[in-house]
Amino acid sequence: MLSRIIVPLLAAAGLMFACGPRTPSPVASARLKGGAERGVTSHVMVDTSSGVVRFAIEVANDSRKRVELNFPDGRTHDFVVLNDAGREVWRWSAGRLFTQSMQNRLLDAHDSVVYDEQWSPPSPGHYTLVASLRSENYPVQQRVDFALR
């Protein structure tokens, strides 16, 4: 009787151990040193030359291999504007609806993607843009200060 309980429990424990969480492979996250393979880089641009302010974040794959950007939902990027006191005055994603399904974006070797938006500022002043790529495996966040006169 006791063996009818213990054997299934041992089998279940063995299955849980075999299928349990694993640490990421060091080969998958390794990068070559010396600039041979740099990976994902980003560049943020702010254009204040017209009545509206234009923001852009360019994400580039500087490696020799294809890179897959994994996103947890439909919001791939976001732009936040902070005033000189550090308070949020505008967020691109505020009031928007996004899909709840995961997304993937492939970037071939030496390829890039640009996410851009525009903002109508309420008044002149000093601001900080916080641009972010919401990728799970290559998250990026950059800050850029700018002034409007």
Query: CATH number, domain at 64?
Result: 2.60.40.2360
Report if residue 106 sits inside a domain. yes
Q: Is residue 138 part of a domain?
A: yes
Band the pLDDT of 47: cuts 50, 70, 90: very high
Domain count, the chain: 1
Domain for residue 51, yes or no?
Answer: yes
Residue 8 lies in a domain: no
Distance between CA atoms of 9 and 146, rounded to whole angstroms?
Answer: 63
- Identify whether the C-beta of residue 52 lies closer than 8 Å to the C-beta of residue 148: no
pLDDT confidence band for 27 (50 / 70 / 90): very low
**25, pLDDT greater than 60:** no
Confirm whether 30 is domain-assigned: no
- Within a domain: residue 22? no
User: For the chain, what is the mean pLDDT?
Assistant: 82
3-state secondary structure the chain: CHHHHHHHHHHHHHHHHHHCCCCCCHHHHCCCCCCCCCCEEEEEEEECCCCCEEEEEEEEECCCCCEEEEECCCCCEEEEEEECCCCEEEECCCCCCCCCCCEEEEECCCCEEEEEEEECCCCCEEEEEEEEECCCCCCEEEEEEEEEC
Q: Which of the residue ranges 22-36, 105-119, 133-147 would you say has the lowest mean pLDDT?
A: 22-36
pLDDT in tens, 96-138: 999 999 999 999 999 999 999 999 998 999 999 999 999 999 9
Instruction: Look up tokens 């994994």; give the residue.
Output: 70
Give the residue numbers spanning the domain of 87.
40-148
Q: Which residues pair with 119 in a beta bridge?
A: 53
Give the Cα separation of 148 and 141 in Å (integer). Answer: 22
% pLDDT > 90, the chain: 68
Amino acid at 86: G
Selected residue with higher pLDDT from 86 and 39: 86
Would 15 be classed as within a structural domain? Answer: no
pLDDT score for 50: 85
Question: For residue 107, is it within any domain?
Answer: yes
Contact 92, 118 (CB under 8 A): no
Q: Does the structure show a pLDDT above 70 at 22?
A: no
